[in-house]
Structures are given as structure tokens and as C-alpha cells.
Structure 1
Amino acid sequence: MAKGYWIVRLDISNLEPFQAYVAANGAALAQYGAKYLARAGQYQCVEGNTRSRNTIVEFPTYQAALDCYHSVPYQNAKALRDGACEIDLVIVEGYEGVQPG
């Protein structure tokens, strides 16, 4: 079964409520087996547009990624960041097909 991923790009406009969101979202992420692959580290935008912060979160399955986002605990945490940032969050299914090389 393919893994699931959240690809998150955001610009923070109000740090205090955003920090409250970060403190609150961990329980929901842990409940669904999430693991950070990238979290606000260095980056270079080599094509297109970007935001100031980038995160990739891995889930054991695509369904777990969807379920976490729609869960009550995550939605409660999300409410803390509403209005504190501009965000793009895409949930994608991992690829298990033929690889290059």
C-alpha cells in the first residue's frame, strides 16, 4: 500500500497563534503515524514560486494522511492557525512504480 504525504508551504504572518498550532498538532500527527521528512530547513526555489517555510510529512498510507487531516484533533489544531498564515497543503499518494535507472 502506498504511503501518503502532506506537502506544506506557508508564510507565517502571526507567530503566536501559529506556535499554538504547532504545539497542538503533534497529537493528531502521532495518532496517524506521521513522520517529518522535511521541516522548515534550508531550501532553494529553482523554478516557480515558493513560500518562506516548507514541510513534508509522511504517513504510513494515503488514507492515513487524509484521515489525519479530516480528524477532529487536527481540525481543532488547525483552527488555532487560521488567519496566522497563508498556506498551501496538498495531500499526495506515494509512488510505488518503476524508478529511474
Structure 2
Amino acid sequence: MPKGYWIANVTVTDPQRYADYQALASEALAHFGARFLARGGERTALEGRETPERSVVMEFSSYQQALDCYHSPAYQRAKSARQDAADVDIVITEGL
């Protein structure tokens, strides 16, 4: 079964509120077995739009597990806490 991946581009607009999101999201992500492959750090935009403040890549045991995590009540609570604290793009994709 192919793994699932979250690919997120994040620009934090309110660091205090974003910290609240991180605390809530950490619990949900751990529950679904997320493994961070990239989280912040140096990055270079070579094509397309400007580089976001942070890029995050997380691996899940399956595509369905990645979707289930995003749609879980625990992650949705975290997402609500993130509102107006960051500009976020998230794509969930199936691995090879």
C-alpha cells in the first residue's frame, strides 16, 4: 500500500496563535503516526510563486491515513486554532 504525504506551505502571521495550533496539531499528528520529513529550514523557490516562510512534508503509513488525520476532529480543532494565525496551503498526495 502506498504511503501518504502532507505537503504544506506556511507563512505565519501571528506567532502566538500559531503556537496554540502547533500544540493541538502535534497530538493529532502523533495519533495518526505522522513522521516529519521536512519542517522549516532553508529552502529556495526555483519556479512559481515566492517561497513560503516554512515548508513541511509529513509521511503517513497510507494515503487514507493522511486523509483521516486531516479530517479527524482533533486536527480540525487545531485547524480552527490556526485561523487568522497563518496562510497555509496543504496538499495530500499518494506516494509511489
- Calculate the TM-score normalised by the size of structure 2: 0.95
- Tell me the alpha carbon deviations over residues 49-73 of structure 1, each in whole angstroms, 9 at most, x when there is no partner: 1311100010000000000000000
Write out the 4+ residue segments of structure 1 that deviate beyond 4 Å after TM superposition: none
Is the partner of 1:22 in helix, strand or coil? helix
Structure 2, unaligned runs of 5 or more: none
**Aligned-residue offset at 1:43:** 0.7
Larger Rg: 1
Structure 1, unaligned runs of 5 or more: 96-101
What fraction of aligned residue pairs are identical, expressed as a percent?
Answer: 45
The CA RMSD over aligned residues, in Å, is 0.7
- Quote the Cα distance in structure 2 between the aligned partners of 1:51 and 1:27: 24
Aligned positions, number: 95
- Calculate the TM-score normalised by the size of structure 1: 0.91
